[in-house]
Amino acid sequence: MPQQFDRSQEDLGNAIHFEHVNIQVPDQRLATLFYVTGLGLTRDPYLMVSDTNMWINAGRSQFHLPNGKPQVLRGHTGLVIAGREALLQRLASIAKKLEGTAFTFAEHNDYVEAICPWGNRMRIHEPDAARFGRIALGIPYVEFDVPAGTAKAICAFYPEIMGMPASLRNGDGTVAAVQTGRDQHLLFRETDRVLPGYDGHHVQMYITDFSGPYRKLLARDLVSREDNQYQYRFCDIIDLDSGKPLFTVEHEVRSATHPMFMRPMVNRNPAVNNRNYANGFDQVSWAMGLDQYEG
């Protein structure tokens, strides 16, 4: 009898890749120390190479860091970076240079938390096929803190408007998980804490049905910006029945025909330096190898 497969496990919905988190920073030097020296990520060598913006590669995803008043994501960004001990050593090496900023880091059972010089939180995990699929380097999720009582309505918004599968997690339904690509999610976790106001940061994803969500957003007057033929934006996640805003964060929405869709990204191997250099080990793979994944 032929082997039976659950083909639905491979369904992604409308979003096929989560690419970047965009957060303004006031000082590229300090940002370089944190993202490149500390986290071990890579400044994109091809685009945004002046002193007004820089793009930081993390596997097939990025951080975009334009100059400006610092922005802080309300929640945290999840990263997969292999090698906890090496990560801790890199973070310790920049501590003195980042004295007087919000920078700090701490070990937890299944992640290392690192806070950037302006207060953005990162949770860095080891590769884990059960949780993050094949990702060996990348951004598997961004988690937002949202007001209590909003997760269920947020969970309804994304499938209806954006065509992105969503589900409630955490047993009591206080976390909405929205699929934004293979093994990638936006998470919305309810909190009773008073949340700061929205400061303009944004997230970006690619979708296949580009015009369908656009028409639905336009009908509800939710399109916030018309960038070009391949890209538009919206900010407000709303209750579908009342139209009341639930949470605000700018979504940069790109089509799969966008010229930069899945462009190759350089990811350096942070373990290599001028003292231990070996040919062929300059770059690190964003995906698990054959010996790490069930295949």
**Domain limits of the chain?**
12-198
Q: Looking at domain 12-198, which CATH architecture does it have?
A: Roll (3.10)
Mean pLDDT of 231-239: 98
pLDDT one-digit tens code per residue, 22-62: 999 999 999 999 999 999 999 999 999 999 999 999 999 99
**Average pLDDT estimate for 194-210:** 96
Q: 87-111 as b/e, with b when 16 or more CB fall inside 10 Å? A: bbebbeebeebbeebebebeeeeeb
Which pLDDT score is estimated for 288? Answer: 86
Q: Encoding tokens for residue 141? A: 């999720």
The DSSP code sequence of the chain is -PPP--GGGG---SEEEEEEEE--BS-HHHHHIIIIIIS--EE-SSS--SSS--EEEETTEEEE--BSS----SEEEEEEES-HHHHHHHHHHHTGGGTTSS-EEEE-SS-EEEE-TTS-EEEEE---HHHHTTBSEEEEEEEEEEETT-HHHHHHHIIIII---EEEETTTT-EEEEEEETTEEEEEEEESSPPPPP-S-EEEEEES--HHHHHHHHHTT-EEEEEETTEEEEEEEE-TTT--EEEEEEEEEEETTSTTTT-----B-TT--TTT--TT-SB--SB--TTTS--
For residue 292, name the pLDDT band (cuts at 50, 70, 90).
low
Rounded to two decimals, the pTM is: 0.94
Q: Strand 112-115 vs strand 55-58: parallel, antiparallel, or unpaired?
A: unpaired
Instruction: Check residue 1 and give its pLDDT.
Output: 63
Q: Would you state the pLDDT for residue 11?
A: 83
pLDDT top residue among 158 and 6: 158
**10 pLDDT higher than 90:** no
Q: Which of 59-68, 232-241, 243-252, 272-281 has the lowest mean pLDDT?
A: 272-281
